[in-house]
């Protein structure tokens, strides 16, 4: 929608045609008065060069796999991708933990869209498995075998840990966790002096099958023992975060979202923009989500809402399934007429109402990212024209930030 003094909006609702129900069309016309003072106020950015004014987009996300020799760090069949949105900033993340702790299952569910029940048939990891994930930014996931001690002097430590932005240590909450606590504290203590820029996250994994009381006691015990061990060895305020996770719910995606956000240098800018659009459009919660992995790279500063994030993940799944069936490449598609050409020139958007008394609003930012706002306002549909205008301003600013970064 384009803002004007008097804007006439036509809404068309259509139910899916099938042999069980009839097709119903209803056209409603509304008139809105748009005041310039209500426009979304975004960050003012300096003018950019023409060479950086285009957003680099690819039709889909790509994952490449290969094996790495732990001693040398050499990669067989490595595929190099062009940078996406973050220039030469290509961090890598290590998944570490003891054998059968769930590292490969986590990587497969989050980044390969594998069904959780299919991870039961995954084989144990015997070599360092490297995945290059090309999405909103180009980063790498290294799945490290749990039976190897990489700090014993027989491995090339620099080839493994140089360039690492974050280490995720997976602890099986259903098993004896004293040994993994000792391993993770030793790893942090040895790497902190050599690589102080690395951020550490501990996933207390497989908590879904524990009873509520035992689950809370286990999480608290692991956090306390790990913190005490690090403090006793002279490491005060260690850069470690703890997350209770399971591949059978959305907790693993939320935990990985927090980890990925630590690798995004523009996070404060994204949060400031989302706070502005949330206040202006009266969204209860706003996310910038990577549509391929369902990991959100930023959200507004309001308290975390697990239910809202689960709705957004399910919404993204539905949108991606529809896109696989009915979508097309708008850059390559030849528009047969002026109307189709005008449609192709606009970014995709979608809205669904009455989902647990929530309204979900999705707007495409680029080929990988989408903004999703969650609203509980009863008059959201009546004010959608103003929301469209504000979100369009937000999208234009986000594209500028991505280009400059």
Region 371-389: mean pLDDT is 90
pLDDT at residue 341 tops 90? no
pLDDT the model gives residue 126:
82
pLDDT at residue 106 tops 60? yes
Question: Which of 132, 127, 139, 96 is CA-nearest to residue 112?
Answer: 132
Q: For residues 15 and 278, which has the higher predicted lDDT (pLDDT)? A: 278
Report CA Rg, the chain: 23
Question: Which of 32, 1, 102, 35 is CA-nearest to residue 347?
Answer: 1
pLDDT at residue 87 tops 50? no
Do residues 359 and 281 touch, judged by C-beta distance below 8 A? no
Lowest mean per-residue pLDDT among 40-49, 276-285, 308-317: 40-49
Do residues 205 and 173 touch, judged by C-beta distance below 8 A? yes
Region 265-288: mean pLDDT is 93
Residue with tokens 């004896």: 176
Q: How far apart are CA 367 and CA 97, in angstroms?
A: 34
pLDDT at residue 264 tops 70? yes
Distances (CA, A) of 4 to 266, 277, 322, 387: 33, 20, 32, 14
26-71 pLDDT, tens digit per residue, is: 333 333 333 333 444 443 333 444 433 333 333 344 344 444 444 4
Q: For residues 36 and 368, which has the higher predicted lDDT (pLDDT)? A: 368
pLDDT the model gives residue 147:
79
Do residues 165 and 89 touch, judged by C-beta distance below 8 A? no
Q: How far apart are CA 73 and CA 158, in angstroms?
A: 9
Q: Degrees (nearest 5) of the Cα angle 260, 396, 361? A: 70
Lowest mean per-residue pLDDT among 18-32, 58-72, 146-160, 361-375: 18-32
pLDDT > 70 in the chain, percent: 72
The pLDDT confidence band at residue 125, using thresholds 50, 70 and 90, is confident
Q: How far apart are CA 383 and CA 381, in angstroms?
A: 5
Phi, then psi, of 180 in degrees rounded to 5: -60, -30
Do residues 314 and 277 touch, judged by C-beta distance below 8 A? no
Q: For residues 90 and 190, which has the higher predicted lDDT (pLDDT)? A: 190
pLDDT the model gives residue 72:
42
Token digits of residue 229 = 């061990």
The per-residue pLDDT of the chain, averaged, comes to 76
Q: For residues 400 and 46, which has the higher predicted lDDT (pLDDT)? A: 400
Phi, then psi, of 354 in degrees rounded to 5: 60, 40
Residue with tokens 């524990």: 210
Residue with tokens 């060895």: 233
Q: How far apart are CA 249 and CA 236, in angstroms?
A: 33
Lowest mean per-residue pLDDT among 32-36, 161-165, 293-297, 325-329: 32-36
Kindly give the residue spans of alpha helices, DSSP state H, lying in 177-239.
178-194, 212-232
Cα-to-chain-centroid distance, residue 79: 23
Helix axes 306-326, 251-261, angle to 10 degrees: 90
Within the chain, what is the greatest distance between any pair of CA atoms?
73
SS3 of residue 315 by DSSP: helix
Region 268-281: mean pLDDT is 94
Lowest mean per-residue pLDDT among 22-26, 168-172, 220-224, 338-342: 22-26
Token digits of residue 133 = 């994930």
Q: How many CB atoms lie under 10 A from the CB of residue 215?
A: 16
- H/E stretch holding 308 reads helix 306-326
Region 303-317: mean pLDDT is 90
Lowest mean per-residue pLDDT among 131-135, 138-142, 210-214, 349-353: 131-135
Beta-strand relationship, 285-290 and 369-375: antiparallel
Do residues 172 and 105 touch, judged by C-beta distance below 8 A? no
Do residues 137 and 89 touch, judged by C-beta distance below 8 A? yes
Q: For residues 138 and 351, which has the higher predicted lDDT (pLDDT)? A: 351
Q: For residues 282 and 323, which has the higher predicted lDDT (pLDDT)? A: 282
The pLDDT confidence band at residue 342, using thresholds 50, 70 and 90, is low
The pLDDT confidence band at residue 354, using thresholds 50, 70 and 90, is confident
SS3 of residue 165 by DSSP: strand
pLDDT at residue 141 tops 50? yes
């Amino acid at each position: 929608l384009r803002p004007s003094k008097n804007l006439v909006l036509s809404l068309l609702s259509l139910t899916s045609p099938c042999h069980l129900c009839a097709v119903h069309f209803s056209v409603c016309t509304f008139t809105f008065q748009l005041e310039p003072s209500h426009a979304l106020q975004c960050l003012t950015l300096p003018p950019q060069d023409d060479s950086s004014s285009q957003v680099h987009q690819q039709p889909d996300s790509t994952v490449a796999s290969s094996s790495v020799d732990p001693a040398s760090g050499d990669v067989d069949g490595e595929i190099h991708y062009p940078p996406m949105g973050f220039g030469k900033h290509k961090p890598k993340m290590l998944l570490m933990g003891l054998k059968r702790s769930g590292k490969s299952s986590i990587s497969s569910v989050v980044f390969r869209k594998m069904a959780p029940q299919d991870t039961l048939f995954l084989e144990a990891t015997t070599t360092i498995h490297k995945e290059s994930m090309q999405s909103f930014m180009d980063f790498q996931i290294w799945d490290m075998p749990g039976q190897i001690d990489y700090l014993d002097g027989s491995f090339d430590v620099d080839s493994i840990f140089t360039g690492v932005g974050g280490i995720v240590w997976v602890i099986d909450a259903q098993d004896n966790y004293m040994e993994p606590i000792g391993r993770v504290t030793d790893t942090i203590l040895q790497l902190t002096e050599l690589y102080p820029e690395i951020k550490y996250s501990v996933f207390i994994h497989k908590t879904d099958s524990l009873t509520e009381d035992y689950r809370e006691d286990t999480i608290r015990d692991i956090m306390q023992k790990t913190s005490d061990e690090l403090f006793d060895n002279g490491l005060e305020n260690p850069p470690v975060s703890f997350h209770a996770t399971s591949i059978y719910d959305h907790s693993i995606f939320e935990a990985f979202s927090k980890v990925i956000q630590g690798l995004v240098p523009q996070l404060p800018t994204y949060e400031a923009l989302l706070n502005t659009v949330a206040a202006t459009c009266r969204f209860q919660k706003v996310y910038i989500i990577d549509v391929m992995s369902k990991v959100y790279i930023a959200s507004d500063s309001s308290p975390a809402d697990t239910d809202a994030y689960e709705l957004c993940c399910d919404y993204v799944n539905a949108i991606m399934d529809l896109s696989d069936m009915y979508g097309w490449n708008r850059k390559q598609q030849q528009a047969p007429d002026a109307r189709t050409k005008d449609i192709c020139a606009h970014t995709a958007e979608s809205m669904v109402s009455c989902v647990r008394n929530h309204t979900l609003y999705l707007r495409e930012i680029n080929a990988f990212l989408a903004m999703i706002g969650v609203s509980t306002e009863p008059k959201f549909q009546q004010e959608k024209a103003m929301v469209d205008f504000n979100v369009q301003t937000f999208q234009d600013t986000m594209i500028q930030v991505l280009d400059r970064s």
